[in-house]
Amino acid sequence: QVQLVELGGGLVQAGESLRLSCAASGFIFSANTMGWYRQAPGKQRELVATITSGGSTNYADSLKGRFTISRDNAKNTVYLQMDSLKPEDTASYYCYLRLQREYWGQGTQVTVSS
């Protein structure tokens, strides 16, 4: 079965960096678009970034230049490098896959203190 397991969240200060990872299994990773979403308390879940099987990327406009999505098909892992973090980046971050239906990881908490 499909599994998405996020790692790498934590508590950081504003201006610092974090790298999230999502280990995937149960499907042909290299053939599929992967994504990251986030959800802050009291807010709707929102797109952070996606990366296609060919490596093309798409970002939320507000995050361009600070966040970078990448993938390692040999490791079945997608990454999210987050730089210059701001308190408003505080959220749970989720790995996302759409096959016949949507799949979500369990989420990893990122907290940015000012």
- The mean pLDDT of 34-47, rounded to a whole number, is 97
Share of the chain above pLDDT 90, in %: 99
How far apart are alpha carbons 78 and 32 in whole angstroms? 11
Dihedral in degrees, nearest 10, Cα atoms 94, 102, 65, 12: 0
Q: Render pLDDT for 64-93 as a digit per residue (tens, 0 to 9).
A: 899 999 999 999 999 999 999 999 999 999
Share of the chain above pLDDT 70, in %: 100
Please state, rounded to an integer, the average pLDDT across all residues of the chain: 97
